[in-house]
Amino acid sequence: MAMTMTEKILARASGKTEVHPGDNVWVRADVLMTHDVCGPGTIGIFKREFGEQAQVWDREKVVLIPDHYIFTADDKCHRNVDILREFARAQGLPHHYDVGSKNYKGVCHIALAEEGHTRPGEVLFGTDSHTCTAGAFNEFATGIGNTDAAFVLGTGRLLVKVPPTMRFVFEGEFPPYVLAKDVILHVIGDIGVDGATYKAMEFAGEAVDRLSMEERMTLCNMVIEAGAKNGIIAADETTLAYVRVRTAKAFEPVGPDPGARHVSCTTYDARAIEPTVARPHSPDRRVSARELRDVRLTRAYIGSCTGGKITDFVNAASIMRGRRVAVDTFLVPATTEISRAIRTETLGGRTLLSIFEEAGCRVSLDASCAACLGGPEDTFGRINGPEVCISTTNRNFPGRMGAKEGQVYLASPYTVAASAVTGRITDPREFLGGGLGTGSERRCGAAGAASGASGGVAGAAGGVSGADGAASGGGGVISRAAREVGP
């Protein structure tokens, strides 16, 4: 039977020749990752259920990455880090990226990739909802709860229901002012925060093939914001070039079979995607950046697993170079490797760090999740009052970045940088050129099963309903098939 990439990985990992959506299969884990927020709970359950002296199923496959509440005076946060440290020592775990050691890395999802733990064709479980980021590497990667993680620690296996796959194809080429963050906000705006509940979101097409690994990670990072079980992209030379220099382990990518069945297939004209923003307080409250030009800001934030990678900082610097920011602007690298690169990589003869400092930004060189998840009050960049913030992070629920009175707009590094400079939400085309078109040249509803896309898409595929009725900034859909189709 023809299978999707997700089905092929789950079939292989469960020792079956084929699986179907809805099947429940016991899947072997290639990697289990946990961090300082969920690790202590996971470890507690593991000890309770398997015994105080129990050993993890495979030391080589357990990865501990403290990253969330690291640079704080809060004792409870320190205790969590200590619990991970003690567990790693007692179990003899080789992959522990401990705080204060030369191994310290920062945000787990980027650290996993940099350290070679994300490999095509494998299964990665993590106690963090954005574990789906690693789908960019052609693996089945998904977030799990502490109880499931404790079970994996003890047995190396987990019962997984095979998700049906939604396929998203981007034809042509993204405009130079559009980043992967715009693309995923655009898709989430189309299908809503429950539009892919327990589905695999598969990304393909010429425009996706052209993306760097960092941009592909951004795309897969936010599939959970549509409720997806996982995101996935086929491996190509870009994937292999990234992975091969980071791991000596053998791996086997999977591609989609011809004739594989998808619950839906939506094809976009990549050229019609615009700089996109999600308004407070939900990632599907999509609107074009150009439509929010009257929104005045008090803060900008560039960081997290979504928007704190080196390419994100290079893109932000390309706009901030030679300019001053008009609002408090906080920058936090996701990992120590990125922190070093900010100090060494140059643009126009200036390091990124000097560009940001001359622009008036507040740069933390301590890599971590920082204010993406709010954290203790002394967390760098945390929203502690009624701020209006534009951010490269992935969630904008009330209180997500700190105070519940805060308002968070989600956007790409280009849009955040442009907005930081003007003090209001700004389409980056004001700095990068490209003309503030309205997407009127988009081709919508061209195919038989397609529905109209402009001005808020409704009636999306597979029983998915449209996002917020007020959502705008839609467009670019060429075709949308609600039935099962081949790739």
- DSSP state, residue 484: -
For the CB of residue 455, give the shortest distance to ligand SF4 in the complex, in Å: 30
Is 9 a residue that touches ligand SF4 (CB under 6 A)? no
Coil vs helix vs strand at 480:
strand
Helices and strands, number each (H, E), in the chain: 15, 21
Of 33, 184, 297, 305, the one binding ligand SF4 by CB under 6 A: 305
Q: Do 91 and 56 contact (CB within 8 A), yes or no?
A: yes
Is 304 a residue that touches ligand SF4 (CB under 6 A)? yes
H-state helical runs in 129-257: 146-155, 180-191, 206-209, 213-221, 237-244
For 419, 461, 472, the CA distances from 290, given in Å and listed in that order, are 11, 28, 11
Is 315 a residue that touches ligand SF4 (CB under 6 A)? no
Is 373 a residue that touches ligand SF4 (CB under 6 A)? yes
Calpha distance 258→256 (Å, rounded): 6
In the complex with ligand SF4, the residue whose CB is nearer, 109 or 299, is 109
Is 364 a residue that touches ligand SF4 (CB under 6 A)? no
In the complex with ligand SF4, the residue whose CB is nearer, 130 or 271, is 130
Is 181 a residue that touches ligand SF4 (CB under 6 A)? no
Is 302 a residue that touches ligand SF4 (CB under 6 A)? no
Calpha distance 288→45 (Å, rounded): 45
Calpha distance 240→253 (Å, rounded): 9
Is 369 a residue that touches ligand SF4 (CB under 6 A)? yes
Residue 143: alpha-carbon gap to chain centroid: 12
Of 62, 111, 183, 372, the one binding ligand SF4 by CB under 6 A: 372
Calpha distance 87→93 (Å, rounded): 8
Find tokens 């998700």 and name the residue. Answer: 163
In the complex with ligand SF4, the residue whose CB is nearer, 150 or 369, is 369
Is 162 a residue that touches ligand SF4 (CB under 6 A)? no
Calpha distance 82→193 (Å, rounded): 36
Q: Do 487 and 262 contact (CB within 8 A), yes or no?
A: yes
Of 14, 329, 394, 426, the one binding ligand SF4 by CB under 6 A: 394
Q: Count the residues of the shown chain that bind ligand SF4, applying the rule CB under 6 A.
A: 13
Strand partners, 32: 62, 125
Residue window 94-113: x/- pattern of binding to ligand SF4, with contact defined by CB under 6 A: -------------xxx----
- DSSP state, residue 226: G
Of 130, 321, 443, 480, the one binding ligand SF4 by CB under 6 A: 130
- Is the dihedral angle over the CA atoms 290, 295, 301, 303 positive or is it negative? negative
In the complex with ligand SF4, the residue whose CB is nearer, 370 or 457, is 370
Calpha distance 484→487 (Å, rounded): 10
Q: Which of these, 372, 415, 406, lies nearest to 388 by C-alpha position?
A: 406
For the CB of residue 369, give the shortest distance to ligand SF4 in the complex, in Å: 3
Of 50-58, 195-203, 210-218, 365-373, the window that binds ligand SF4 (rule: CB under 6 A) is 365-373
Residue window 261-300: x/- pattern of binding to ligand SF4, with contact defined by CB under 6 A: ----------------------------------------
Of 47-55, 286-294, 369-377, 422-430, the window that binds ligand SF4 (rule: CB under 6 A) is 369-377
In the complex with ligand SF4, the residue whose CB is nearer, 146 or 394, is 394
In the complex with ligand SF4, the residue whose CB is nearer, 164 or 307, is 307
Calpha distance 68→35 (Å, rounded): 8
Is 128 a residue that touches ligand SF4 (CB under 6 A)? yes
For the CB of residue 35, give the shortest distance to ligand SF4 in the complex, in Å: 7
Strand partners, 481: 265
For the CB of residue 133, give the shortest distance to ligand SF4 in the complex, in Å: 8
Calpha distance 7→157 (Å, rounded): 17
Q: Do 331 and 302 contact (CB within 8 A), yes or no?
A: yes
For the CB of residue 129, give the shortest distance to ligand SF4 in the complex, in Å: 7
- The residues binding ligand SF4 (CB under 6 A) are 68, 107-109, 128, 130, 304-305, 369, 372-373, 393-394
